[in-house]
Amino acid sequence: MSRPNLVFIMSDDHAAHAISAYGSRINETPNLDRIAADGMRLDSAFCTNSICAPSRAAILTGTYNHVNGVTTLATPLDSELWTFPHALRDAGYRTGMIGKWHLGHGPGADPSGFDFWRVLPGQGHYHNPVMLQADGVVVERGGYVTDLITDDTIRFIDRAEGEPFAVFCHHKAPHRSWEPSREHFTMYDDVDIPEPDTFRDDLVGRAEVIQAVKMRMMDLDPITDLKAVVPDGLTLDEEIAWRYQRYIKDYLRVVASIDDNVGRLLDHLEATGLADNTIVVYTSDQGFFLGDHGWFDKRLMYEESLTMPLLIQHPGTIEPGSTSDDIVINVDFAPTLLDLMGVDPGDLDQPMQGRSFAPILRGDGADDWPTSMYYRYWMHRDGSHQCPAHYGVRTRTHKLICYYNDPLDQPGAAGPADPIEWELFDLVADPLEVDNIIDHPDSAAVRDELIAELQRLQAEVDDTPFPGALDALSTAPGE
Ligand code: CA
C-alpha cells in the first residue's frame, strides 16, 4: 500500500470530558466517536503546557517550550524553526494548514513547511471570518468558521488528486467566546446540563495562588461570554448555577458543530475511497475546565486542563475500538506521525525530544515506555486569569506541582512574584484532586519520590529548576 495520508484535526480548548467516547456526562459526539470506534482512544494524553500557542509549538516541533521558545501566548513560533510538516513535505507529501494557527503572522512568523496555508488572524471570528494566505492574500467570505475550515480542508484533499497529502484542519472552536452556528443556536434550550462533581469546590487546602485564580463562573462576562443580562433577584448560588448553564450550553453547541463537520470530513474520505489509507487524528491543543472546581478555562496542571483528547484511526494499523492508558504527551506527536507515515525520526537531523508511540498504536506495546511526564506553565498571573507560573510531574498514580510563582520576565506574563507553594495529589484515592496532601505526614515518602522524579525529568528535558523551590516545603526532602 502507498504511504498513508494524514488528516490532523485539532480543535481549540475541547476537553475530553465533552466527548461521548470519553464518557461525557453532558453531550453526545457521534462523529468523534466514529474515530474511537474505528481506531484507538488514548486515555492519558497530556499537554506539557496547557495554553494555545505553546501546545501548538510543542506538537509541530516535537520539543518542549523552553527549547522551541514558545513559552507564552506572546512568543511567536520562529518560521525558520523546523517542524514536522517540513519533513513530510521533504518526503514528497503535499502539506496544508487550514484554520487556527495562532503562532504569529508576518515576516518571520507566517506558517512554514506548507504547500498551502489559509489561517485565521490571531483568534479569528466565529461568523464571517477573514482568513489569511501567503503573499498577503486576504480571503473574505460569509459563513460559520467551523464549516468554512472543513470546506477548505475537503477542497485541499480533492486538489491533491491522488498524491500523498498531510492536511492540518485546525478549528477555532470551541474557544471562548463560544458563539454557536445558526443550526445549533437553540440546542439544549429545554434541558439543564448536569453540574460537575467539583462544581462547588471551595478550594480549601489548595495553594493560595490557586484559590486566587480568576476563572470562576462569576469571572465570566455576562455580555461577551454569556450573551445575556443577569436576571434580577438571584441569590449568589442561583447566579452561579445560571452562569454555568449559559456558559456550558454555548460551549456544547459549538462542539456540536465540530462533531457535525468531523462527520462530513469522515464521510468525504469514505466516499472518495481515501479512508483506507488515511490516518485521521482528532485532538485539541489542551483540555478545559467545564465548571470543574468551579472554573472555566485551562492553564493549570489539574486533570481537566492537562488532558488532551486523542483519537486516532488508521485502518490496517490500529485495531478498531482499542484504547491505551500509556502516558503520551504533545511533544510525542511529531515523531509518532512521522513514524506512521514512513519517515524515520532517527534519520532526521532534528533535535526532537518526544518519542514515537507508534508501537502503542500498532498494539505492539512499548517496553520501557515513560510512566511520568513533565509540565510547565510560564505566564505568572497574566492579565485576566491570574493563573500562577508552575511546573510539576504527573505519574500514573500521583501529581506533584510546584507553584514557583515568578514571572521570570516572560513576555505576556505580569504581576509580582508570590511565595512558592506546593501541591500533591493521590490520583488513585482522590481522582478529583480536592485533597492536597503535600503536608500530610504519611505523604513524605511519596513526596520525596516525586521530587526526585521531577528533578530527573527536568534534567532529562534540559529545563531549569526554580532556585530555592525546595526550601518552601515544610520539611526538607528526606527528613
Ligand atoms: Ca487552546
CATH code of the domain in which 93 resides: 3.40.720.10
Is the peptide bond between 222 and the residue preceding it cis, with omega within 30 degrees of 0? no
> Which pLDDT band holds residue 365 (cuts at 50, 70, 90)?
confident
Cα(428)–Cα(397) distance, integer angstroms: 6
Alpha helices in 128-229 (DSSP H): 145-160, 208-211
Look at residue 474 and tell me whether its pLDDT is greater than 90.
no
- Determine the distance separating the centroid of ligand 1 and the alpha carbon of 307, expressed in angstroms: 12
92 inside domain: yes
Reported as a single tens digit per residue, the pLDDT across 241-250 is 999 999 999 9
Q: Per-residue b/e over 4-25, b at no fewer than 16 CB within 10 Å? A: bbbbbbbbbbbbbbbbbbbebe
- Indicate the residue among 331, 362, 393 that finishes a domain: 362
- Determine the distance separating the centroid of ligand 1 and the alpha carbon of 51, expressed in angstroms: 5
The mean pLDDT of the chain is 95
158 and 13 part of one domain: yes
- Determine the distance separating the centroid of ligand 1 and the alpha carbon of 11, expressed in angstroms: 8
Task: Show the CA angle centred on residue 122, arms to residues 102 and 95, nearest 5°.
Answer: 45
216 inside domain: no
Which domain CATH number covers 446?
3.30.1120.10
349 and 395 part of one domain: no
- Determine the distance separating the centroid of ligand 1 and the alpha carbon of 285, expressed in angstroms: 5
> Which pLDDT band holds residue 123 (cuts at 50, 70, 90)?
very high
Average the pLDDT over 232-237 and give the result: 98
90 and 166 part of one domain: yes
- Indicate the residue among 362, 392, 427 that finishes a domain: 362
Reported as a single tens digit per residue, the pLDDT across 385-400 is 999 999 999 999 999 9
Look at residue 411 and tell me whether its pLDDT is greater than 70.
no
DSSP state of 429: T
Q: What is the pLDDT of residue 114?
A: 97
The residue behind cell 492574500 is 137
Strands (E), 152-246: 165-170
106 and 138 part of one domain: yes
Reported as a single tens digit per residue, the pLDDT across 279-333 is 999 999 999 999 999 999 999 999 999 999 999 999 999 999 999 999 999 999 9
417 and 295 part of one domain: no
Reported as a single tens digit per residue, the pLDDT across 60-100 is 999 999 999 999 888 888 888 999 999 999 999 999 999 99
- Determine the distance separating the centroid of ligand 1 and the alpha carbon of 123, expressed in angstroms: 10
- Determine the distance separating the centroid of ligand 1 and the alpha carbon of 12, expressed in angstroms: 4
Look at residue 8 and tell me whether its pLDDT is greater than 60.
yes
- Determine the distance separating the centroid of ligand 1 and the alpha carbon of 54, expressed in angstroms: 9
Look at residue 466 and tell me whether its pLDDT is greater than 90.
yes
468 and 337 part of one domain: no
338 and 260 part of one domain: yes
295 and 392 part of one domain: no
408 and 333 part of one domain: no
Reported as a single tens digit per residue, the pLDDT across 12-50 is 999 999 999 999 999 999 999 999 999 999 999 999 999
**Total count of domains within the chain:** 2
- Indicate the residue among 334, 362, 390 that finishes a domain: 362
Task: With 0.75 as the threshold, say if the pTM is over it.
Answer: yes
162 inside domain: yes
Query: Where does residue 201 rank: exposed (0-12), middle (13-18), buried (19+ CB within 10 A)?
Result: middle
10 inside domain: yes
Average the pLDDT over 339-356 and give the result: 91
- Determine the distance separating the centroid of ligand 1 and the alpha carbon of 1, expressed in angstroms: 36
- Determine the distance separating the centroid of ligand 1 and the alpha carbon of 174, expressed in angstroms: 9
276 inside domain: yes
Q: What is the pLDDT of residue 311?
A: 99
Look at residue 189 and tell me whether its pLDDT is greater than 90.
yes
Cα(337)–Cα(278) distance, integer angstroms: 12
- Determine the distance separating the centroid of ligand 1 and the alpha carbon of 52, expressed in angstroms: 4
Look at residue 414 and tell me whether its pLDDT is greater than 70.
no
SS3 458: helix
- Determine the distance separating the centroid of ligand 1 and the alpha carbon of 13, expressed in angstroms: 4
328 inside domain: yes
Look at residue 478 and tell me whether its pLDDT is greater than 80.
no
236 inside domain: no
330 and 391 part of one domain: no
Q: What is the pLDDT of residue 413?
A: 61
> Which pLDDT band holds residue 2 (cuts at 50, 70, 90)?
confident
Q: What is the pLDDT of residue 366?
A: 81
173 and 267 part of one domain: yes
Look at residue 431 and tell me whether its pLDDT is greater than 90.
yes
- Determine the distance separating the centroid of ligand 1 and the alpha carbon of 284, expressed in angstroms: 7
211 inside domain: no
- Determine the distance separating the centroid of ligand 1 and the alpha carbon of 383, expressed in angstroms: 17
- Determine the distance separating the centroid of ligand 1 and the alpha carbon of 171, expressed in angstroms: 10
44 and 69 part of one domain: yes
Q: What is the pLDDT of residue 476?
A: 74
Average the pLDDT over 237-258 and give the result: 98
Q: Which domain holds residue 381?
A: 372-473
